[in-house]
Amino acid sequence: IAEDHHAFLRCFFYSTRAAALGLASCSDAFGASSDEEPLLCARPLAPKLRLRPLYLPVKATSVASNEGCRRSWCDRWAQATRHSQGVAELSYLVLATWDMARLLPARCLTLPILLPIGRLFLRLMYIHCLPSCQFVATAVLIWHFLSHGWRVPVCEDSERRTLDVLCALAGTRVPTWPVMLPIAMIFAANVSVISASFLKPFERRGSAASLWHREGGGMQTAQGSARVSLALRVAVDLVVIGAPVSFVYGVLAALFGIWNVCWRGNRITYVTASKALLVRPPTPTPTGHRVLSRSRSNSIAAQS
C-alpha cells in the first residue's frame, strides 16, 4: 500500500514493544511475586522512534516516464490508487493499538504513549478519510442546491438567526466562497515553502551560497522579480490545473482505492512509479569535465 506509512507504523509499535521489554527486563516485573511492587513503567513508556525528514530534489519525487505523457499519466494513476489503498492502515492501527492496550499494564498507558498514537489516528484520518467525506458532503450540497432551483429551502424558509448564519457559512448564498480560504492558505504555503527552500538562501548568502542555492530553483523572473513569477505559476496551478487534476488523481483515485480495499483487502498489484528524467547530451563544465544527466548516468551505472 503506502509502504512508507506501513513501515512507520510497524517501527512505531515495535519500538514501543522494545521499550516495554527493556523496562520489564530491568525491573523483572513479570517475574515478581504478588507482594513485591513491580517497577515496570515506573518511568514513562514512550516509543524511541523518531522520524527525520530527508529532503530530496523535486525531480526525485515527480512521476515521469520515458515512454511519453500517456504512460506517465497511467503510472501516476497507479501510484495514486496504491496510495489511496493506504486507508487500510487505519484498521491496522486500530488492531495494533488494541493489542497494545490489552497486553500492557494499565499504568503504562500514559500520555507519552497515548499522544503519539492519537496523532497517528488523526494523521491517517486527515489523509484518507477527511477528503472523501468533504467531497461527499460537497456533492450532496451541490445536488440539493441544483435540484431546488439554485436555492436551499431549509435555509431560506428559516427564521432562526443561528441557522441563517450557519447556512451562510456553508455557502448557500455564494457557493464558491467557502473554498476560497483553503485555496488562499494553499497558495501562501506553496509560495512560502518554495521561497524558503530556493529563493531566500541565495538572497541571504549571495555569491557565497552553495551551487544548489545559486540556481534559485531555476525560477525565471517575471516583471524583474522571481517572486512574481512564482506567485503566477502557483496561482495558475491552483485555479486552472488544480481542480481537474485533483478530481482525477484525488477523488476518483480515492474512491477506486477504497473499493479495492473493500473487496480485495490488502492484496494489490504493486506498480513501481517511473522516476525517469529527460536524457540530455553531456554538457561541458568550466573545468572541462562533461556532466551526464541523471537518467543517462544511471543507465551507464546499470550497464557497468
DSSP string, 234-270: HHHIIIIIHHHHHIIIIIIHHHHHHHHHHHHTT----
Closest CA to 2 of 93, 81, 72: 81
> Does residue 43 belong to any structural domain of this protein?
yes
Which residue would you say has higher pLDDT here, 128 or 280? 128
Q: Is residue 193 part of a domain?
A: no
Model pLDDT, residue 28: 53
Domain count for the chain: 2
C-alpha cell at 142: 451541490
At residue 166, the pLDDT reads 78
Does residue 269 register a pLDDT over 80? no
Beta bridge partners of 284: 290
Helix, strand counts (H, E) of the chain:
14, 2
Residue 90 lies in a domain: yes
Q: Are 284 and 276 in contact (CB under 8 A)?
A: no
Q: Are residues 164 and 286 in the same domain?
A: no
Give residues with Cβ within 8 angstroms of 175, minimum separation 6. 142, 145
Task: Flag whether 67 is in a domain.
Answer: yes
The residue among 72 and 208 whose pLDDT is bigger is: 72
Given a cut of 80, whether residue 128 has pLDDT beyond it is yes
Together in a domain, 161 and 13:
yes
User: What is the band of 292 on the pLDDT scale with cuts at 50, 70, 90?
Assistant: very low
Q: Could you tell me the residue range of the domain that residue 51 belongs to?
A: 3-170
pLDDT score for 61: 63
One-letter amino acid for residue 41 of the chain: C
Q: Look at residue 184 and tell me if it is in a domain.
A: no
pLDDT confidence tier of residue 170, bands split at 50, 70 and 90: confident
Higher local confidence (pLDDT), 13 or 154: 13
Q: Does residue 33 register a pLDDT over 50? A: no
Most confident of 92-101, 178-187, 217-226, 295-304: 92-101
Task: Please give the grid coordinates belonging to residue 173.
Answer: 448564498
Query: Which one of 170, 199, 234 terminates a domain?
Result: 170
DSSP-derived 3-state class of residue 291: strand
Q: Is residue 80 part of a domain?
A: yes
Does residue 35 register a pLDDT over 50?
Answer: no
Looking only at the bridges linking them, the beta strands covering 283-284 and 290-291 are: antiparallel
Helix (H, G, I), strand (E, B) or coil at 290: strand
Summarize pLDDT for 61-102 with one digit per residue, the tens: 677 777 778 888 888 888 888 888 888 888 889 999 999 888
pLDDT in tens, 179-193: 888 889 999 998 898
For residue 37 the three cell numbers come to 511492587
Q: d(Cα 266, Cα 5) in Å, to the nearest integer?
A: 14
Domain boundary among 170, 186, 209: 170
CB atoms within 10 A of CB 242: 16
| Highest-pLDDT range among 153-157, 160-164, 274-278 | 153-157
Q: What angle do CA 140, 141, 144 make, to 5 degrees?
A: 85
- pLDDT, residue 187, reads 92
Do 152 and 298 fall into the same domain? no
Residue 192 lies in a domain: no
Q: Which pLDDT band, with edges at 50, 70 and 90, does 159 fall under?
A: low
Q: Of the candidates 116, 143, 170, which is a domain's last residue?
A: 170
Grid cell listed for 253? 483515485
pLDDT attached to residue 37: 43
pLDDT on residue 136: 84
The CA-atom distances, in angstroms, between 41 and each of 198, 285, 296 are: 46, 61, 55
The reply to whether 27 and 159 lie within a common domain is yes
